Amino acid sequence: MYKYNDFDESFVRNRVAQFSAQVARRIDGSLSEEEFRPLRLMNGLYLQLHAYMLRVAIPYGTLNPDQMDQLAHIAETYDRGYGHFTTRQNIQYNWPKLPDVPAILSDLADVEMHAIQTSGNTIRNVTADHFAGAAADEVADPRPVAELIRQWSTDHPEFQFLPRKFKVAVTGAAADRAVVRAHDIGLVLKRQDGVLGAEIIVGGGLGRTPMVGKTLKEFVTFDDLLPYLEATVSVWNLLGRRDNKYKARIKITVHEHGIDDIRARVEDRFAAIKPTFGGVDMEMLREIEGHFVPPIFADKPVDAYTRAYEADPVFRAWADTNLAAHKAEGYAIVTVSLKKPGQTPGDATAEQMRALAQIARDYAHDELRISHEQNVILPHVHKSNLPALHAALKAFDLASANVGLVSDIIACPGMDYCALATARSIPVAQGIATRFEELKLEHDIGALKIKISGCINACGHHHVGHIGILGLDRAGVENYQITLGGDGTEDMVIGDRTGPGFAYDEIVPAIERILLSYLDLRDGPEETFLATYRRLGLAPFKAALYPAKEEKANAA
C-alpha cells in the first residue's frame, strides 16, 4: 500500500502543528467559535449532539495492521473504547474532547493517517471498491488512481472553497461495489485496445435530491484523467450555485444545464489546462503504482479448507456468506461482519480492532479494508488459512455469517449522535436484525440490502437499499418512510416510496410484513427480493404494508 514520502509526512505534520495552535487559540479565547468552526471542520472535527466527533479518513478504505492498531489505541486512550466505521470508508470517534484532538491527530500522523478534508466544502476522502486488488472480476486496481486523486485534491488551492462538498469514488470492476453512480464523480476503470482509462460518471448523489450519475465521457485514458477531473471540478466550481446550499451539488448543476452543456464546458476547460500538467501526473501515478504491487500469492493445497467446510456446519455457513471470489488460485476475499444482530452497524471495539490487525498479519498479507457497507475486509486470504482465521474471529465475536443478508444493514449514526439527524437509525437496524434472528428466516430470505438513514442527507444510502428506511421528524415524533427496489450497483435505481411512514414502534413489524410477503410471492428460493420486486412492482408489498387501508378500499 501507499507509503508517505517526505512531502506527505511534512505536510501532515505541519497540518497537525497548525491545527494544534488553532485549538490552543480557541481555548484561550483568541479565536471565536465563528472563526474556529471552519478550521475544525477542515480537520474533520464536528460538534454533534452529545460531544465532539472526529472523522478520520481511511483513503479508499485501505489499512495496514499498524494503522488498525493505532485506531484501537486512539479509541482506548481518548474515546470510549470503540470506533464507528462509516459508509464513506472513514472511522468516526464519537467522544473526543477538544483539548485531546491535537494529540489524536499526531497519533494518526505517526501511522500516515489524517482527518484532512473529511468535512467542509472540499473534495472529500476518495473511496474505492473494497475488494480492490483482489477481486476476480477486476480490470485494474482502482487504488493507485484513488491515491493520485487524494494527493491532487488535498489542499488543492482552487478547490478549498467549493460550492459544496465533493465526493469521488473509483472502481476497477464492471460489478460496481463502490456505488460510483451515487457520487459527484464516479470512475469506472476500463481497458480499451490495451490502454487503461476510465469512464467518467458525473452528477450522481443521494440526499435531498437523489440522482443517478450520468456518463460525462465513455473513456478517458490515464494520460488525460487528472486534467479531465480538474476540468470537471473547475467548471462546477464556477458554475455551481452558491445562492442555495440545497442546489449547490454538481448533480443539480448537471441537471439544470444538461449533460451536453457541461461536457462542452469541460472539454473547453480540459483543452486549456491539459498542457499545464506536462506529464507530472503520469510520473506520479507510475510511482504510486509501485506501492500497490500485489502480495506474492502462495501456491499450496486447500485441503484444510475443504475438510473444515465438510465437517463444520458453522464454518460452512460462514464460508457460504462471507467469502468472495479472489483473482488468485486458492485464495478468497473475507468479509468480516460488523453486524452481529443487536450490535451497532459498523462499530468495532478497540479489542476487536487489535484482533483484526493481528489476524491480517497472521493470515492476510498485512492488509485490511473498510467497506462502505460498514464491514472489514481481509482481501487476500489463502483458503488453507480460513479455518484458523474463522476460529480467531469467533474468539472476538466477529464471526457473524450474515454478509449480504437481512441483518447486514447499513445505518448512519442517526439521532443517537448526529446533530443533523431527524430520527434514530441505529436502534431500527438493531431491531430488524434481532427480529429476523428470532424468526430464523435470514438464510431463507437470502440476498437483501437494507439501508437506513436518520435524515434526508442519506448517509445510510436508503435510496439505493433494496429496502430503504428514512427516519423523519413528523410533528415532533419519529416517523419512518420506506422505499423499495433501490439498487446501488452498476444498474443503479432509486427506490420507490411505499406511502405513509411508520412510527418508531411500527417500523420493525412493517419490514417483517414486507419480507413475509416476499417469501409468499417469490418464484422460488432462487428469486431474490429485488428480482421479485422488479417482477411484481410495488402493489403486493403495499397491500402487505397497509392492510387496513386495502381492506377499506375493497369494501368501498
Partner 1 sequence: MSRPFTPKVITANALLQGDVIYLSESGIWVRALHEAALILDAARAEALLAEAQKDGMVVGAYLTDAAEGKHGPEPTHFREEFRRTGPSNYPHGKQETGARANV
Grid coordinates belonging to 201:
460518471
Q: Which is nearer to partner 1, 194 or 476 (CB)?
A: 476
Report which residue type is found at 403: V
CB of 417 to partner 1, least distance (A): 6
Q: Which is nearer to partner 1, 342 or 547 (CB)?
A: 342
Listing DSSP states for 197-264 in one string gives EEEEEES-B-TTS-B--EEEEEEEEHHHHHHHHHHHHHHHHHHS-SS-GGG-SHHHHHHHH-HHHHHH
Grid coordinates belonging to 417:
449522535
Q: Which is nearer to partner 1, 46 or 309 (CB)?
A: 46
Q: Which is nearer to partner 1, 127 or 400 (CB)?
A: 400
CB of 413 to partner 1, least distance (A): 8
β partners of residue 369: 62, 377
Q: Which is nearer to partner 1, 279 or 476 (CB)?
A: 476
Strand order in the sheet with 368-370: 62-63, 368-370, 376-382, 331-336, 323-325
CB of 200 to partner 1, least distance (A): 39
How far, in Å, CA of 229 to CA of 129, rounded?
19
Q: Which is nearer to partner 1, 87 or 127 (CB)?
A: 87
Report which residue type is found at 215: T
Are 350 and 75 spatial neighbours (Cβ–Cβ below 8 Å)? yes
Q: Which is nearer to partner 1, 35 or 523 (CB)?
A: 35
Listing DSSP states for 250-313 in one string gives HHHHHHHH-HHHHHHHHHHHHHHHHHHHTTHHHHHHHHHHGGGPPP-------HHHHHHHHH-H
Burial readout 433-447 (b: 16 or more C-beta within 10 A, e: otherwise)? bebbbeeebbeebbe
Q: Which is nearer to partner 1, 70 or 344 (CB)?
A: 344
CB of 459 to partner 1, least distance (A): 16
CB of 298 to partner 1, least distance (A): 41
CB of 115 to partner 1, least distance (A): 16
CB of 320 to partner 1, least distance (A): 29
How far, in Å, CA of 144 to CA of 71, rounded?
23
Q: Which is nearer to partner 1, 80 or 156 (CB)?
A: 80
Provide the 8-state DSSP code for 494. P
CB of 51 to partner 1, least distance (A): 4
CB of 546 to partner 1, least distance (A): 25
CB of 75 to partner 1, least distance (A): 13
Q: Which is nearer to partner 1, 221 or 434 (CB)?
A: 434
Count of CB atoms within 10 A of residue 227's CB?
A: 21
Q: Which is nearer to partner 1, 96 or 120 (CB)?
A: 96
Count of CB atoms within 10 A of residue 128's CB?
A: 31
Task: State whether residue 71 is helix, strand or coil.
Answer: helix
CB of 471 to partner 1, least distance (A): 11
Provide the 8-state DSSP code for 115. -
CB of 470 to partner 1, least distance (A): 16
Q: Which is nearer to partner 1, 240 or 413 (CB)?
A: 413
Grid coordinates belonging to 164:
459544496
Grid coordinates belonging to 205:
448523489
Are 105 and 307 spatial neighbours (Cβ–Cβ below 8 Å)? no
Q: Applying CB under 8 A, which residues contact partner 1?
A: 26-27, 29, 32-33, 47-52, 80, 94-99, 344, 415-417, 424, 426-427, 430, 473, 476-478
How far, in Å, CA of 426 to CA of 429, rounded?
5
Sign of CA dihedral 155, 157, 160, 163: negative
Provide the pairing of β-strand 62-63 with 368-370.
antiparallel
